[in-house]
Amino acid sequence: MTPNSLGEIIKKIRVPVVAKACGCSPRAIYKWIANGSLPRTDYTDETNYAEKIALASGGQFTAAQIREVSKPKAA
């Protein structure tokens, strides 16, 4: 199954699991879902949330898939 959005991925894994894996609060994860993208820091290699989410998914999703569906939208 190819995910269509970051929210779809996170909801499948569950927000508390993603929050724990990333060391963030569940509230921060809900903000990612609302924005439809990972924080800027994941694209500037300051953080590696996509990899952490991929690990938490138990192989359901790859970091590349997560980054692809969660690219920040152009303003």
**Residue 36 falls inside a structural domain:** yes
Alpha carbon distances (Å) from 27 to 9, 15, 35, 58: 16, 9, 12, 23
pLDDT in tens, 4-54: 999 999 999 999 999 999 999 999 999 999 999 999 999 999 999 999 999
Contacts of 25 (CB under 8 A, 6+ apart): 19
Range of the domain at 58: 6-69
At 73, the pLDDT band (50, 70, 90 cuts) reads: confident
Question: Dihedrals φ, ψ of 11, to 5°?
Answer: -65, -30
Say if 63 falls within a structural domain.
Answer: yes
Q: Is residue 61 domain-resident?
A: yes
Number of domains forming the structure of the chain: 1
d(CA 44, CA 58): 25
pLDDT band at 2; cut points 50, 70, 90: confident
Is-contact 4 69, C-beta < 8 A? yes
Residue 58 placed within a domain: yes
